[in-house]
Structure 1
Amino acid sequence: MDEIVLAAGTALTTAMTTSGWELLKASVVGWWQRFHPEDAEQVGTDLDRLHQDAVAARDSGDTVLQEALVSDWRLRLHRLVNGNPEVRDELERLLDEQLTPALEESDQQRVRSLVQKTNVAGSNNITVVSGRDTRYNSPPSA
């Protein structure tokens, strides 16, 4: 599954428990409206219902329910984004500009840890560490 979808599903469900949720929900529904207008109203209704579930799960410490909500939204986003680079790019913009900034710092770090962005220029020796298990070393220049 695309890392942007993974991060967006996590950020979205975490954002459901924030004080600014109503504004974020409107942004998500508006984003959805652009790509699948026929589903946008239902998405808004689903977000309202799942907001209640997310708050209850957070308040009770129900991590199983929290992970189920994350998985549900990851799958929904995957279906919408799959094979459509424009939609993926717009999801990344929504994630970077609205969802992630609305989260507390610890939650922002958790979301950012799901996305590996690396830009390399020149022929320097580069080490990229992803999580704790993957390393890539660029070959030394000749």
Structure 2
Amino acid sequence: MAEAFQFELVSPERLLVSEKVESVVIPGAEGEMTVLANHAPVMTTIKPGVVTVNKSAGETERYCVFGGFADILPEGCTLLAESAVAVESIDREDLAKRIQDAREDVADAKDEQTRARAEQYLSHLTTLEAAI
């Protein structure tokens, strides 16, 4: 059995998770990363995706996050999300609206840098849609 560590998932609306867990898989800006107890200190931005929380009792919970950052220390991990919701309670209409808004942002972009950011966000959202 893996050593447990403290994990917190916080959104502007509420605290979603605050408990001891065995591991957490987060969608970091450079790719997915698994956090375990005694992880080296890291701070990373979070891209839209799914956070998988593996609890000590063998249960798994999944949360959809839309950006933010994670602060990882040997004794724990805190993920501050711009927006987060449990996967089982995802409003698919809301996700479809976010995708449509992102498509409009791509079409309305005035310069290449803005267009590139909008395309990347749209790519993250469509990947997320496929994952859930």
TM-score range, shorter chain: under 0.3
Higher relative contact order (CA 8 A, sep 6+): 1
Q: Give the number of the structure whose residues are more often strand, by fraction.
A: 2
Q: Give the number of the structure whose residues are more often helix, by fraction.
A: 1
Return the index of the structure with the highest Cα Rg: 1
TM value normalised by structure 2 = 0.28
